[in-house]
Amino acid sequence: MDDLKGKVAVITGAGNGIGRAIALAAAEKGMRVVLADIDPARVEKVAEELTALGADVQAVVVDVADVVSVGALAEAAYAQYGKVHLLVNNAGIAYLNSAWETPLEVWRRMMAVNLDGVVYGVRSFVPRMLEGGEPGHIVNVASAAGLVTSPGLAAYCASKFAVVGLSEALFHDLRVRESKVSVSVVCPSWVQTAITSVGGGDGAKAHGDVDVVDDIAKGARAAITEAVRTGIPASDVATQVFDAIAADRFYVLTHPMTLAGVRIRTDDILGTRPPTLFPILPPPRAPKPPKPAQPA
């Protein structure tokens, strides 16, 4: 899909981080933008930002884990703009703990937000996008954790592997029908956002909120929090997303290290080996060279 000016984008989780960055980039390209987020204050703030840039926006409070709420989002978007060309299923939450200590309500909420949210987005928008007969694009934001695994991320990996699988099958569904609507799946590693501290509403706990954590999980939490803090800016992900839309590229792997992980994982499967413990953190930065001694 090219020439995005005047076209309509719907972005979930647009109140912060990657969703906000995609919304800003969409507005810069002259798109009309429907901003959807569970947090009214966050989504209003981004709406104000975009409006100040001269963009035509609509802010909608939505819980993507609620099928009725996502249906209402579609109604609101079509009522206001009549068409949708770009759907970004981005809203997501993270939680880190061993598989067995992850509370059941966290497992359920993780699958509800990260997976059901995408399912509801696809079901609420794709039929109307196809009916509209215009070129369109669906962007599902998964994660590198949808392609490679790590200790502490059982619930998150389960939800994101599911989003990658759903997206690949959706790609086939659309291609075999020679549809004008295409799809990309985004698999970022570390991105500087609030993912480790922001919950997503009822039952969506951020890392710090659950007390029973062993030392290994504690260490992994600290390391991942630091990796996110020093990750790439969300605007880089947005740039790569719009490049992928323009080139009709399916996989958007924002970090080269993920390619290495996918290779190792594939070799493990083909070689019938157990999964390699893929280093989830970027290599430590080289220490700064010592300052040359000042002449006396």
**Is 251 labeled as catalytic in the residue annotation?**
no
Binding mask 197-236 for ligand NAD (x = CB under 6 A): -x-xx--x-----------------------x--x-----
> CA 144 to CA 257: how far, in whole Å?
9
Residue closer to ligand NAD by CB (options 1, 67) is: 67
DSSP 39: -
User: How far apart are CB 287 and ligand NAD at their closest, in Å?
Assistant: 25
Structure tokens at 199: 């919950």
- Which segment (7-15, 75-83, 176-184, 255-263) binds ligand NAD by CB under 6 A? 7-15
> CA 191 to CA 126: how far, in whole Å?
28
Residue 194 makes contact with ligand NAD by CB under 6 A:
yes
Structure tokens at 228: 């996110």
Residue 152 makes contact with ligand NAD by CB under 6 A:
no
Total length of the chain = 296
Residue closer to ligand NAD by CB (options 112, 215) is: 112
The active-site residue out of 95, 120, 156, 251 is: 156
Q: Is the dihedral of CA 131, 77, 194, 220 positive or negative?
A: negative
> CA 6 to CA 27: how far, in whole Å?
10
Residue 84 makes contact with ligand NAD by CB under 6 A:
no
Residue 264 has φ and ψ, to the nearest 5°, of: -60, -45
> CA 253 to CA 189: how far, in whole Å?
8
| Residues 45-74 within binding reach of ligand NAD (CB under 6 A) | 62-65
Q: Which residues are catalytic?
A: 156
Binding footprint of ligand NAD on the chain (CB under 6 A): 12-13, 15-19, 37-39, 42, 62-65, 90-94, 113, 141, 143, 188, 190-191, 193-195, 198, 200-201, 204, 228, 231
